[in-house]
A and B are shown apart, each in its own frame.
Chain A
Amino acid sequence: MTEPVRPAPVLTPDTAFFWEACARGELVAQRCGDCGELAHPPRPMCPRCHSLRREIARLSGRGEVYSWIVPRHPAPIGFAEPPVVALIQLDEGIRLVSNLIGVATDQVRNGMRVTVEFAATAGGYAVPVFRRSS
């Protein structure tokens, strides 16, 4: 029996850059090419200055656990064990939905410092996941 495979991200014209960077092992976010505002989730227009110029900003990959849960039932598709789903507050000030890996459920704490890694998905893509910072 093969292990369940994590579902692939769905790429859209406004989001493909994020997942393509993950496949290269880079955590990035959209940055306005004019005013420098970071935006996540990505969007076609800067909400601050209405520029359509988009840059890709490389992020530090460091942050902390803002909130977390474990989905027990029904079992999520593509996971052998229920993952810890966490909202990560990145040091750059944006939040990402992700997974916390390598931490027992009873050890997870809000505010725990974490660092990014990447996990493979179906279809040859990768997604950012986080491990407790050493």
Chain B
Amino acid sequence: MFGRAGRAVAIAGIGQTRYGRREERSELQLAAEAAHAALADAGVDPADVDGLITYTLDPADEIGMTRSLGVRDLAYASRVPGGGAGSLATVYQAAAAVASGACEVVVVWRAINQGAAYRYGQPQAGGTFPVGGGTSSLLWCMPFGAQAPATWAALAIQRYMHAFGVTNRDFGRIAVLHRKHAATNPAAIFYGKPITLEEHQQSRWIVEPVLRLLDCCLENAGAAAAVITTLERACDLRQKPVRIVAGAQSIPPNVEVISNYYHEDLTVMPEAVGTAKRLWKQSGLTPDDMQVALLYDAFTPNVMKQLEAFGFCKHGEARDFVADGQCELSGRIPTNTHGGHSGEGYIHGMNLVTEGVRQVRGSAANQVKRVENVLVSSGMAGAIFSRA
């Protein structure tokens, strides 16, 4: 897409803070540190940034970012809906802005500091929800004791388990895989701390019979950012450019981010199917052309549903695909090579972007050999990163 209609686009820089359980500084500071690191990585003067894109849920303000980074003349600012599920839409929209000529240098970021002011895993009984979270119908859940993300997600996942005879032990193999990859990733919160399937099975139920503690993403603090510019400009910058050859958002009818109960067949993930359709069509590539898949995991089952949605295996066969080791570094499609959100850290999808760039550059902690193309998906949005 990008390059055929408009200018070719690349990721020129990535940056991140330390990922930890809690930080004593504001999300704005975390965001500014990550953005500054990404710009330094690219070799771009922060004054030259002319676009900023983050999530509707991000607490770091655009004006605060321009003031902190010393941005001279911001031309474009937007926020994407859908929480973490929409995270790759930041990259997609930045790429579209650059391809069209609306921007020259866009920074995308996510800063999160759970525990200081909010914890996503805690129940809430009522109140209102800000629009743009992509979960318009949470009010239909609260009076029934479905009051936290794990509960909302699990209610749909149980139907998938029922349909294909999948058990929580099957999900455990994803958790073990993530922790294995995190164990050899020095930036990961769980660096040096792999788990066994038995340890997964001994962790407490969060939502029975679907999710145990070790199926869940972390509550943590940190920020990650990326710099998107034209391929032409990126070629003159410090790092080897990582081309964005496709980008997409997909929000099919009656789909919600997490209270996703109202579309026809809850054993499929229509938003990921839609994202896949667009990415394969735009790029002309197929699942067999990917060397790495980075798939958003609020909870381990999301990985299986995306493996199926993107066609790495057939509907209902992800359990066996994972059990056969096909997502290992040595498997058919090495998956979440950084350790995912339950291993590296929960930067709400933005750390899928940074890992995707590292895999294409050849600088990942768990580097896959001969990487040409990386699929990065957050479900409701996705992109394909490729060697320039």
- By a beta-carbon cutoff of 8 Å, the part of chain A in contact with chain B is 6-10, 12, 15, 40-41, 47, 66-79, 82-83, 85-87, 95-99, 105, 110, 121, 127, 129
Whether the pair B140, A41 counts as a contact (CB closer than 8 A) is yes
Q: How far is the CA of A116 from the CA of B317 in the complex (A)?
A: 36
**Contact residues, B146-166 vs A (CB, 8 A):** 146-148, 150-151, 154-156, 158-159, 162
Decide if A73 touches B205 in the complex (CB within 8 Å): yes
Q: Of the candidates B151, B204, B208, which one forms a contact with A105 in the assembled complex, judged by CB atoms under 8 Å apart?
A: B208
Q: Which of B17-25, B69-77, B124-132 contacts A (4 or more CB under 8 A)?
A: B124-132
Q: Which 5 pairs, one residue from A and one from B, show the smallest C-beta to C-beta distance?
A: A76-B145, A7-B125, A67-B159, A77-B125, A67-B158
* Minimum Cβ distance to chain B for residue A43 (Å): 9
CA distance in complex: A82, B150 (Å): 14
- Of chain B, the residue at the smallest CB distance from A15 is B139
C-alpha gap A79/B162 in the complex (Å): 26
Number of A-B pairs whose CB atoms are under 8 Å? Answer: 119
Residues of chain B having any CB pair with chain A under 8 Å: 121-128, 136-137, 139-148, 150-151, 154-156, 158-159, 162, 204-210, 213, 253, 259, 261-262, 266
Do residues B262 and A69 form an inter-chain contact, with CB atoms below 8 A?
A: no
Q: Cα distance A6–B210 when bound, in Å?
A: 24
20 A-B interface contacts by CB (under 8 A): A8-B143, A9-B143, A40-B262, A41-B136, A66-B159, A67-B155, A67-B266, A71-B154, A72-B205, A72-B208, A73-B206, A75-B123, A77-B124, A78-B125, A78-B145, A83-B144, A85-B144, A85-B146, A97-B141, A110-B158
- Cα distance, A68 to B207, chains bound together (Å): 10
Closest CB-CB distance, B94 to chain A, in whole Å? 31
Provide the bound-state CA to CA distance between A37 and B262, in Å.
15
Bound: A15/B261 CA distance, A:
17
Q: Is the CB of B155 within 8 A of A97?
A: yes
> Knowing that A78-B125, A95-B261 are A-B contacts, what are 6 other residue pairs whose CB atoms are under 8 Å apart, sorted by A's residue number?
A9-B139, A72-B207, A76-B123, A76-B145, A96-B140, A97-B144
- The answer to whether A6 and B148 touch across the interface, beta carbons within 8 angstroms, is no
Q: A10-B139, A74-B123, A85-B155 are in contact. Are A69 and B208 (CB under 8 A)?
A: yes
B205 with A97: CB separation less than 8 A: no
Partner of A69, one of B126, B155, B259: B155
Partner of A10, one of B121, B126, B266: B126
Instruction: Give Cα A121 to B139, complex, Å.
Output: 14
A127 touches B144 (CB 8 A): yes
B270 → chain A closest CB, angstroms: 15
CB distance from B256 to the nearest CB of A (A): 9
Q: Which of A6, A15, A66, A73 has the most CB of B within 10 A?
A: A73
Instruction: For B154, list chain A residues within 8 Å (CB).
Output: 69, 71
Given A41-B137, A74-B121, A97-B141, are A8 and B207 neighbors across the interface (CB < 8 Å)? no
A69 and B207 in contact (CB under 8 A), knowing A7-B125, A78-B125, A97-B155? yes
Chain A residue with the shortest CB-CB distance to B208: A70
- CB-CB under 8 A for A73 and B204, given A7-B126, A41-B140: yes
